Structure 1
């Protein structure tokens, strides 16, 4: 374990790597699905040489460099090298294209990007719209692609041939990176993340899943997000344990990877957990070393299947955001399916407040989850180029997550939904997620989204609408679905409208864009109230 893990003035993942490289240089750290591998010593040496490489290209402390790459050892080298230099890494989601990619490149004013050759076409397609971009560092062959003449195209080097570098490292308060939020209701915002903030994700994970020297982490979530990079890979640097990272998530490879690499801990999201559980059962489902899965949200039916089918002992959850770290974690041996967990009180304060008045609400009552840090630089430093948004989110000296939740007398926090996705009807707040869980359990339904549409009754607030994706070959009747679902829902939560769609609009990270569905309105939908009339 990193010797300075309790000292916030040394919360630096690059410093943790340097300590490991000194203590156990030959110990394996990172293996990837493309055949790459790094010991702690190799990772540290490569990071120093990468820092010098970037500096010779003109990158300075505080300078911003984009990383547009798939998971792997090269990703880790770019990230750690920029971090060691004291530069700011701008992580770009590999699914971004066209206007989504342009927005982040322009907003962060990037003039240098490291890109996997496979993703180069996405950059060249918008080259004329990002005039600041001048230096493009390519990993892999370009296959004679025609590239803009103004670009300086640089090949990713062989690190064994690069000179050593010994410049000063960063401070905990320096901005390590910018990660962009999903932007479901508007352009995504860049979150300024200090080095200490990045390290604190891993510190919380170590405490939550009780990592020891015997553990091995499986990272199948993207490294351009905080879960994969900091909650998992960062935790391995702090704990001094090995990790296996898959280039992209694969439900069909999940169990075989875990078995082959003898991993003991992994993280999932609700959607990825669902994909895994939909894989056909097999005789080797329990032939593995996996002892704990951290998944958010932790649906009760998912937890039951991980226990019963795969024999995983502990399923834990948590709640957090890129902006606020992970202030709420589950606990090994104290699973509460559906709940997020308890406040990590050593480093955070959490309360549930009225979203209109910011007044603290009684235990058990739903309100907005508010968070603030107890330690310096363990939180975002603000939104990049958006001071007004930063102030708005920080009103009354609490960060407003925009998420609805409850807190019980014992401090157990349950995430309910995004507040803007909470439907208000007949004086009651309705969780879209809770409606979706009921409808999704009905036969013949592949996916469902519940969302608010305006009521035609004065003072009626919202009506509930469903967008449904049928399973292949399913013959569904909208009225029957609404009638069956309504039998399992409170009266105030019964859907009025239903529409069949080929697919739900989603962000690059798989989140349903309810804002897009709301904008489409009720055109083409079945109105069960009109039908009844």
Structure 2
């Protein structure tokens, strides 16, 4: 790998595509506008020169807080060409969340859309290491002191001379710090090398069978690895067209795909459900779309494929270790399975979480992963050497995910280990309880967590947070529905109906927030489960 830097370093990849296909369109914005490979290469040199002029150099960490745009890609690619390290910032971050990422990453420069300038200014007194702010898209004067008081205009960087910075970047050099979504607690910054960034789209392209003739539609945020690496980087590796939307719209999804001729796309979490619930039309299948990477594939996956005339492929991945599993695209769907191991690049083990010893096929254990090629997984967690060593103990990366390997070689995600519940001596998968809740026709979304028992602090009770499809939802009727479809020990004691669940911008439910909130004044308690126990072995 290291002997072929043009294939494994993104700045060199863009340069090569600009030489070979300067007039081919790389970026097509759904809001209007196109940029060719040749123009993008020149723009990136200009931004790199401008960033270098304000002191950004090899190894420097630069925070980027922007919505999907051409400027985001220009900034990212310029940083890669300089050998700097991008720190994507979730655009929803405010206050402590923003302070933590800025201070923990050690970033001294922030590039932000103008709309986020007030947020940055509010945090400025708590960001002692932040020395410069580059603002995209506004001439408005700043309002406070601090690093944002005299911001640099991104548009000025685009007017800098288009010079190659001449920096040598290798696959082993750090490229990005991606903060895990923090669904189970405080986020950790995973320091990723260029080789890691390159392997991610390499496998994606191979497993989806993509070519330079494809057009990849991206509506996921670029601060997430799925959008930035699989889709934006993937399109560049292919020399294909990237169709970039400002964000996901269930009602606009199909129209975007048709208008722009998209042949491939990705859907995460509840996005698939939201598209599915749009009013059905007889011409839904008349689109150029042929394949989509969907995580997870829902139970209605086959019907979704027929309705939209396309193919679904599921994968499993983690920020730190890439994507070691994909479903073969030429095999029938298997909802609940994330496919087979990509054994060219990865080794995996399903192990007892206490001993790290393998468990037999069919039994649940923790997924452990390690790479077969150098520089294709994270370098470590920023400022957390103990967490790095603990996670990589026994020379395996411990994902914290409960998995099962079936005898035929397919792997299934069971749950997050921290989402596994234990109630009255029985282990409970929150995922499995959620699937029963979602089978109820009145439930649109569900999240299950463990909360402390009111009678025994060492015991957990099952609590379900549900969002109704429409109108109201009777918790008692939902509990009756569950009682006939799951073991008594797994039936939720507490149910709370909500208008929405707290989520990341990639539609992951923030379960740690639900655990912290726990039982509240609007929580319904199951009277059957809450009755005093009569003794061991009581049936309910």
Q: Give the TM-score normalised by the residue count of structure 1.
A: 0.94
Give the drift of 1:75.
0.8
Q: Deviations along 1:196-247, whole A, 9 cap, x unmatched?
A: 1001111010111011222110011111111001111111111111110111
Give the drift of 1:179.
0.9
Give the drift of 1:21.
0.9
Distance 1:337 1:468, change over 3 A: closer
Give the drift of 1:54.
0.9
Indicate which of 388, 391, 394 corresponds to 2:389. Answer: 391
Which residue is 2:538 aligned to?
none
Higher deviation after alignment, 167-176 or 192-201:
167-176
For 1:6 and 1:374, locate their aligned partners in 2 and report how far apart those are by CA, in whole Å.
17
Which residue is 1:256 aligned to?
255
Matched, 1:439 2:437: yes
Matched, 1:232 2:231: yes
Q: Deviations along 1:408-439, whole A, 9 cap, x unmatched?
A: 22321111111111112354432212211211
Which residue is 1:373 aligned to?
371
Indicate which of 359, 362, 387 corresponds to 1:361. Answer: 359
Which residue is 2:193 aligned to?
194
Indicate which of 320, 325, 332 corresponds to 2:329. Answer: 332
Give the drift of 1:532.
5.4
Give the drift of 1:148.
2.3
For the 8 Å contact 1:300–1:337, the answer to whether it is kept is yes
Give the drift of 1:142.
4.2
For 2:288 and 2:345, locate their aligned partners in 1 and report how far apart those are by CA, in whole Å.
31
Give 3-state SS (helix, strand or coil) of 2:528's partner: helix
Give the drift of 1:9.
8.4
Which residue is 2:536 aligned to?
none
Indicate which of 515, 519, 528 corresponds to 1:518. Answer: 515
Give the drift of 1:160.
6.5
Which residue is 2:210 aligned to?
211
Q: How many residues align structurally? A: 527
Distance 1:149 1:399, change over 3 A: closer
Indicate which of 30, 38, 42 corresponds to 2:39. Answer: 42
The correspondence of residues 167-178 of structure 1 with structure 2, limited to 5 A, is: 167-178=166-177
Which residue is 1:247 aligned to?
246
Matched, 1:479 2:465: no
Give 3-state SS (helix, strand or coil) of 1:463's partner: strand
For the 8 Å contact 2:192–2:377, the answer to whether it is kept is yes
Give the drift of 1:517.
2.4
For the 8 Å contact 2:365–2:402, the answer to whether it is kept is yes
Which residue is 2:410 aligned to?
412
Matched, 1:61 2:58: yes
Q: Give the TM-score normalised by the residue count of structure 2.
A: 0.92
Taking only aligned residues, the RMSD between alpha carbons, in angstroms, comes to 2.2
Give 3-state SS (helix, strand or coil) of 1:529's partner: coil
Give the drift of 1:442.
1.7
Q: Which consecutive unaligned segments of at least 5 residues does structure 1 have? A: none
For 1:398 and 1:510, locate their aligned partners in 2 and report how far apart those are by CA, in whole Å.
28
For 1:7 and 1:137, locate their aligned partners in 2 and report how far apart those are by CA, in whole Å.
34
Distance 1:149 1:417, change over 3 A: closer
Q: Deviations along 1:105-141, whole A, 9 cap, x unmatched?
A: 1111222111111222221121111122221111111
Give 3-state SS (helix, strand or coil) of 1:300's partner: coil
For 2:353 and 2:439, locate their aligned partners in 1 and report how far apart those are by CA, in whole Å.
31
